[in-house]
């Protein structure tokens, strides 16, 4: 897992390499009371240590008390870098911020349809991974 902080966009993002060729980025702060969520690799979900909220790989709620989803951020491997498309709280979410369907039990699938880039210029490249 990787913790990505984007100060100018007020985002703290957790990026996980969940399956072969599949990366997922979500807000690191739980939507209940703001604790940092943890990734559970065997269950392939995110769990909050404070009160037990759970979210799927795309940030959708699986278990309360949180009732709000985490924002999802598109992440993909390009060459040796994982590129995460980041957007701020006041930006229109880019087209690829739509989570893939069924992120809990999906088999590895062709993700070519999800690799389009947005035109907002908000792409951030990670370095040093």
Residues making contact with ligand FES (CB under 6 A): 30, 32-35, 48, 50-53, 65-66
- 19 or 47: CB nearest ligand FES: 47
- Provide, rounded to whole angstroms, the least separation between the CB of residue 13 and ligand FES: 17
- Provide, rounded to whole angstroms, the least separation between the CB of residue 113 and ligand FES: 33
Interior/surface letters 18-28, b for 16+ CB within 10 angstroms, e for the rest: beeebbbbbbb
- Provide, rounded to whole angstroms, the least separation between the CB of residue 51 and ligand FES: 3
- 66 or 96: CB nearest ligand FES: 66
Q: Phi and psi for 83 in degrees, rounded to 5?
A: -105, 125
- 60 or 114: CB nearest ligand FES: 60
Q: Could you give the C-alpha distances from 54 to 6, 30, 38, 112, 125, in angstroms and in order?
A: 24, 9, 9, 28, 28
- Provide, rounded to whole angstroms, the least separation between the CB of residue 70 and ligand FES: 10
Reference 56, options 47, 65, 66; nearest CA is 47
Number of H helices, E strands in the chain: 0, 10
- 21 or 43: CB nearest ligand FES: 43
């Amino acid at each position: 897992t990787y913790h990505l902080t984007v100060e100018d966009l007020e985002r703290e993002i957790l990026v996980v390499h969940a399956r072969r060729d599949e990366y997922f980025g979500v807000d690191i702060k739980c939507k209940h009371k703001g604790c940092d969520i943890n990734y559970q690799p065997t269950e392939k979900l995110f769990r909050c240590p404070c009160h037990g909220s759970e979210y799927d790989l795309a940030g959708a709620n699986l278990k309360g008390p949180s009732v709000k989803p985490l924002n999802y951020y598109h992440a993909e491997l390009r060459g040796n870098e994982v590129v995460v498309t980041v957007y701020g709280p006041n930006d229109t979410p880019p087209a690829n911020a739509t989570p893939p369907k069924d992120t809990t039990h999906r088999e590895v699938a062709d993700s070519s349809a999800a690799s389009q880039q947005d035109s907002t210029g908000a792409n951030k490249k990670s370095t040093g991974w």
